[in-house]
């Protein structure tokens, strides 16, 4: 597998997932400054010209949620996802999609100090934080003691916010992020 990578991009999320899977992979450095992500060669891998991009044989993937879903299923021994048919699978899939359809855009509005407009299709950041706090419940992770790809996707968003100097101000969410950052393979931005 090859991960097209720049540590200052969302590819750091995919790298975290690969490391949690115990996958063997090659990092292919991509210079954003040199616009290597916009070359014709790269656009054959990811037509959006963005990172991350993952190549696994003849399979080409882009977008973190898709890549994390793929990797969790490819490496079932890592136990990063409920298997198809398990009762938790629906909640897991919902959280994976929620990370990109609600959490990420509402957090973007919050960080840019924009009012979230309901017609844009996502809710405000305070509501998203309420939802995530409820999903954490009493356990250390979204599925209690079980760390999953949903923690990678949801947790990475709060890690990014923290890197930008924006703590949530919510003790339960901050403790969740602390637990994620303490994991040996946690997302690194270098």
pLDDT tens digits for range 131-180: 999 999 788 999 999 999 999 999 999 998 888 778 888 999 999 999 99
pLDDT tens track for 12-58: 999 999 999 999 999 999 999 999 999 999 999 999 999 999 999 99
Residue 105: pLDDT above 90? Answer: yes
Nearest to 104 by CA among 50, 66, 159: 159
Strand order in the sheet with 26-29: 26-29, 2-5, 53-56, 59-62
Residue 190: pLDDT above 70? Answer: no
pTM, to two decimals: 0.94
High-pLDDT (> 90) share of the chain, %: 85
On the 0-12 / 13-18 / 19+ scale of CB atoms within 10 A, 144 is exposed
pLDDT at 189: 72
CA dihedral 46, 161, 91, 1 (to 10 degrees): 30
| First vs last C-alpha separation in the chain | 20
pLDDT at 145: 95
Name the E strands within the chain.
Answer: 2-5, 26-29, 53-56, 59-62
Q: Who's near 89: CB < 8 A, 6+ residues apart?
A: 81, 82, 83
Residue 119: pLDDT above 90? Answer: no
pLDDT at 47: 95
Gap between the Cα atoms of 105 and 99, Å rounded: 9
Q: What angle do CA 50, 14, 108 make, to 5 degrees?
A: 60
Gap between the Cα atoms of 174 and 147, Å rounded: 17
pLDDT tens track for 40-50: 999 999 999 99
Average confidence (pLDDT) over 94-112: 94
Going from the C-alpha of 167 to that of each of 55, 110, 123, 157, the distances in angstroms are 34, 12, 19, 11
Average confidence (pLDDT) over 117-131: 92
Residue 5: pLDDT above 80? Answer: yes
């Amino acid at each position: 597998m090859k991960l097209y990578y720049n540590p200052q991009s969302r590819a750091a999320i995919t790298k975290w997932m690969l490391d949690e899977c115990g996958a063997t992979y090659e990092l292919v450095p991509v210079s954003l400054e040199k616009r290597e992500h916009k070359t014709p060669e790269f656009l054959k891998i990811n037509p959006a010209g963005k990172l991350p991009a993952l190549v696994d044989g003849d399979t080409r993937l882009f977008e973190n949620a898709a890549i994390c879903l793929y990797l969790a299923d490819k490496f079932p021994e890592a136990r990063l996802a409920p298997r198809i048919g398990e009762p938790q699978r629906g909640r897991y899939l919902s959280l994976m999609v929620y990370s990109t359809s609600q959490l990420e855009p509402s957090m973007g509005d919050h960080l840019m100090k924009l009012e979230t407009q309901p017609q844009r299709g996502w809710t405000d950041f305070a509501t998203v934080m309420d939802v995530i706090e409820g999903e954490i419940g009493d356990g250390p992770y979204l599925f209690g003691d079980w760390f999953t790809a949903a923690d990678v996707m949801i947790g990475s968003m709060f890690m990014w916010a923290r890197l930008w100097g924006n703590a949530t101000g919510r003790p339960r969410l901050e403790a969740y992020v602390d637990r994620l950052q303490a994991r040996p393979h946690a997302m690194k931005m270098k």
